[in-house]
Structure 1
């Protein structure tokens, strides 16, 4: 029997707002086909009804009939699930069944009444723990063997007393079945636990991917649209002054931002598809499109870094450049990319603003997004004002990504 695990993918994992999956149907007892159990039980009952004698409505026949009914009830109770009957109640039921089986062997003069003892003894091994099962099965053997040996009740004259002693032997088969079923149950439980863990892991992966997409959308849309909005507001304000040259310059800048947003959209597609981009060349193009030529300094020997590292460093640079344009317009920007043996470090530093721009407030998610990106790569990020040197009063962001 194989137990496969269906691991959900990003499309099939549960998402907020979706209805929970329907509860699983009750699990059948492994290895026990109820139809086979009922067929065997009915075969023993029908065989007993056709062969056990005497059976009637008076005298000894009435006693045999009552014992036959009690044995049938004890045997039919085998079909009840183990969890439905408390352990103590199961001991009482099986003990009474053993007494009824031994009494039927003693009262009946012919027939297959002994089959009730055999089947009941086997079920004792399955239903009860090993020690009480062996004790009760031994009692069944002694009772049935004693009834036949001492001819108590004038029992079956053709049935040897040794057969009565063997009625407890099927308890070993029952114990083996019980151990096997417990092992299968443990395997099923382990498989279900692994499946639940896989579902939780898949859902965590989906949520992580959603966070990544949200950061990319924020980087592409929020920054670019904010810049375009600033230029359009500036152009609208300049229209009242009649300075067409400045209006045209603001309009050209808005067009430039649109073109830049198209490039950023391409970068986002590359990021979502995990396509590799050349880090140094792409960072240089980003700086030039932002109006910061010759602002990049590369230290160490450039090496190829994983696609995830490249994409996240480019996003951090983009975020920092956008923040510099918004909060320190006109200030010079310097970017340093350092390749070391154990890490790759990206530093973006801007000087204080040289002109005043009525910039709209940011979303507040930029720095959070940068920290999340670096954390996913196992690195560290520091961000804060520059307190000394020629860039004093400006802002610096430094991301260190280990190799």
Structure 2
């Protein structure tokens, strides 16, 4: 190296080669592919020129390191082309004796400067494989988190429906009886006040029983469908209202739970909107499905004014949809029950 002539050229080329190699530390995402191609091509020319003007044999190390980085930085095809160009330029500088250092190294050493491109390509392949594995793991983790969130939302919806079935219905009935008792106090009819109070007490007991059913359901304990439905009707005052069609069979816990909730919703609505009306429940075990039909006749006495939550029918539809079934609800337009209301749920077997 020097400050004039060939010494200055060696110093300048040495600085350029150092700068090209230092650029290897730049992240791949920060360097456009086209710019990387130009930068590495320029580095190859500078490395070959350094071999040509230098009288020391150590200059070829820049070409070796650069060729290895070419294999890592570029795709295989352009990397091999640039590595071949590097070998030809470095070998040519020594073979044609373009500088004073030709006698230090044989031209075959210059020809070998492109060989490190091969381990560079292998390293690039491993890095890409590792990156693909990490991306797949991150994608799987995101999918698992999304699935977990969906499961949480589904479970929250299920709990919300059960809470609505137990609390909203029971508390609405209890509140109705207590309001009735309060209104009857002004009339002095203690017998009717006592009757309303007793009815409120029975609703409290029924609420406790429903709460126990809900706890069992949330724990996914199987509830016997037929026995539970019979007990529910009896506690609602509808004795002998259940008709069983077909041969009784055991249904999955989730099916039994949701059919019981649908029956509870329908019976509560019947008591609220059609007080005094007879109720008929039919449970049919078909070859391919389980069907539940609840029908009530028109009210025989004036229904008290009460505002429902509006979530009853929505909850029933959600329950049936989760099981792949269908549900219909609407007024009865013909027959002896004309003017009443019917809810029919059909749950297919898997």
Give the TM-score of the pair, scaled to structure 1.
Answer: 0.84
* Counterpart for residue 314 of structure 1: 260
**Aligned counterpart, 1:368:** 314
- Larger RCO: Structure 1 or Structure 2 (Cα < 8 Å, ≥ 6 residues apart)? 1
> C-alpha separation between the residues in 2 aligned to 1:211 and 1:184?
40
Pick from 68, 72, 78: which aligns with 1:132?
A: 78
Q: Distance in 2 between matches of 1:96 and 1:375?
A: 67
Match of 1:193 in 2: 139
CA distance in 2, matches of 1:357, 1:142: 100
Alignment partners' CA distance in 1, 2:32 and 2:84: 22
1:358 aligned onto 2:304: yes
Indicate if the aligned counterparts of 1:230 and 1:359 stay in contact, CA closer than 8 A. Answer: no
1:271 corresponds, among 212, 217, 222, to: 217
Q: Say whether residues 1:122 and 2:68 are aligned partners.
A: yes
Compute the displacement of 1:389 (Å): 1.6
1:155 is paired with a residue whose SS is coil
Query: Which residue is equivalent to 1:69?
Result: 15
Deviation at 1:298, TM superposition (A): 1.2
- Contact 1:300 1:339 survives alignment (8 Å): yes
Q: State the partner residue of 2:237.
A: 291
Partner residue of 2:198 out of 252, 268, 289? 252
Q: How far apart are 1:104 and its partner, in Å?
A: 1.4
CA distance in 2, matches of 1:130, 1:138: 12
Supply the distance in 2 between the matched residues of 1:74 and 1:139 (Cα, whole angstroms).
Answer: 17
How big is the alpha-carbon RMSD for the aligned residues of Structure 1 and Structure 2?
1.3
SS class of match (1:67): helix
- In the other structure, the counterpart of 1:83 is 29
Task: Please state whether the residue corresponding to 1:224 is helix, strand or coil.
Answer: helix
The CA deviation at 1:111 is 4.2
Q: TM (normalized to structure 2)?
A: 0.96
For the pair 1:166 / 2:112, whether they are aligned, the reply is yes
CA distance in 2, matches of 1:179, 1:228: 72
Contact 2:55 2:99 in 1 (8 A): no
Mapped partners of 1:177, 1:367: distance in 2: 62
What is the count of residue pairs matched by the alignment? 349
Q: Which moved more, 1:200-209 or 1:328-337?
A: 200-209
Cα shift at 1:107: 2.0
Alpha-carbon offset, residue 190 of structure 1: 2.5
Is the 8 Å Cα contact of residues 287 and 295 (structure 1) preserved in structure 2? yes
Runs of 5+ unmatched residues, structure 2: none
Deviations 1:323-373 (Å, cap 9, x if unpaired)?
000000000111111111211111111111001131312111101100000
